[in-house]
Amino acid sequence: MFEIWKRQQGETAKAYEAFRVYRDLGPVDRSQVKVGERGGKCRVQIERWSARYGWVERVRAYDAEIEARDAEEIEQARQKAREMLEKDREEMWQRQRQLSLFVQNLILERLQTLKPEDIPASRIPEFMERMFKLERQALGLDTGGRGNELDNAQQEENRDTLIFLPEGTGVTAQQVMDAI
């Protein structure tokens, strides 16, 4: 594409320099009077150059090009920000998942040292629900209070798969299920 705001064929260096001053004043401050003041040229000469070399049309094209470039840069910046946010979310999720699994392992280690009589039976469902919630969150299954979108069969299947009992705990899966 021919960039009409560049020097035109037959346009003198002085005329082009005056046009550049006009162009670079920007849409708000742009005037032939200001060009004359800055370049020390008379108003009549500036008006001739403007008419002869189509300054108004050229600056419209220039302003549109600048606006399009700015819009593209803004969109690229927005896209980059979205990508960075997604990356940050993924990293946050991974950290939270690792921390959740770490805490679960600590809890399981602690449970191994407890005697069954040290755990009030009335508190086991609460502890299990908290552990399940942490694990669901770590696996990205937490629905943020909107309710579980899985049907009952899927809930039961997931619930069974989310119970991890290392050997040697002295607690069977059936005992855990009975306590819930």
Spatial neighbors of 176 by CB under 8 A, at least 6 apart, are 124, 128, 163, 165
pTM of the model: 0.49
- Closest C-alpha among 138, 143, 144 to residue 92: 138
Please state the rounded mean pLDDT for residues 1-29. 90
Spatial neighbors of 25 by CB under 8 A, at least 6 apart, are 31, 34, 35
Specify the pLDDT at position 124: 82
> Domain limits of the chain?
1-90, 114-179
With cut-offs at 50, 70 and 90, classify the pLDDT of residue 49: very high
The answer to whether 163 and 131 have CB atoms below 8 angstroms apart is: no
Which is more confidently placed, 104 or 143?
104
With cut-offs at 50, 70 and 90, classify the pLDDT of residue 163: very low
The answer to whether 62 and 5 have CB atoms below 8 angstroms apart is: yes
Specify the pLDDT at position 155: 46
